[in-house]
Amino acid sequence: MFGFLNVYKPKGMTSHDVVAYLRRITKIKQIGHTGTLDPFAEGVLPICIGKATRLIEYLQDNKAYIGTVQLGSSTTTYDIEGDITNISNKKISIDDINNVLKDFEGEITQIPPIYSAIKVNGKKLYEYARSNQNVTIEPRKVIINEIKTENFDYINNTVTIFVSCSKGTYIRSIANDLGEKLGTYGHLIKLVRVKAGDFELDDSVKLEDIKTIDDVKNNLINPLIKLDIPTYELNENEITKVKNGNNIFINNSNRTIILTYNNNIAAIGYNENGTIKCKKVFI
């Protein structure tokens, strides 16, 4: 089996839980996901099955989320699963929020939550937090392509925001920082990933609807549909050379190229002045 699955990860499961579930159904060990979602989060989780795991590095890694922020309180984890650390009764207006959101646009510096899986000196941040050890968290640069208000509930003091961003962006940190910029506090109470690269929410399949190996096969996506890389269809002579690990020679200016045969990926090649060297072969 070879291809991608656009899975809707349910709330309460980890990304690794989803992979383990699919391994039990398919009996295939070579399964991986393309981006971790926190257990309390839900939404798009691209899954690679079989040799398609070798294509993860070629997938687009931009993300988009819809998150709901509870204003007026902060937590240890920057989300609903942490302990309350601060409370404020300050009331915020929609104009206040929209003005502050502008500060998050473009390239920004973000400090990841202490309760995260980022490693410092070979140890995950949440391990430091659980053992009450101090650790210096280095800020990271991320890119916010778009951020806007989707809904504002003045009574309950919550705001739902849409965020289109680069890989590695923590929406929990945005929730926390948004509260601080507004002169109050904030933490994330709901998060849905609506896009991961070219995988979108409307095209995802609920994990609960995948019960058999046939369900997996029926929802399998040909990697060619999701890879934004030029392709070249091999002829009979060229496919033989690729199978034997030999270079081929074509008139093509693209640096990276997908070599196909009968509309299936045969190899990933790199072009050096017309000489195509195969880096990864799938046949």
The torsion region of residue 231 among left (phi > 0), alpha (psi -120 to 50) and beta comes to beta
| CA atoms 274, 275, 278, 283: torsion sign | positive
Q: Report H helices in the chain.
A: 15-26, 94-101, 125-130, 171-181, 213-218, 223-226, 236-243
The SS3 of residue 195 is strand
- Amino acid, res. 12: G
Supply 279's token pair: 């880096």
Task: Name 142's Cβ contacts closer than 8 Å, sequence gap at least 6.
Answer: 107, 108, 110, 165, 166, 168, 169
The Cβ of residue 274 has, within 10 Å, a number of other Cβ atoms equal to: 12
Of 236, 167, 182, 153, nearest in space to 74 by CA? 182
| CA atoms 231, 233, 238, 240: torsion sign | positive
- To the query of whether residue 209 is one of the catalytic residues in this protein, the response is no
| CA atoms 54, 58, 64, 69: torsion sign | positive
The Cβ of residue 125 has, within 10 Å, a number of other Cβ atoms equal to: 18
8 Å CB contact between 239 and 261: yes
**Which of 38, 79, 96, 177 is flagged as catalytic?**
38
Active site residues: 38
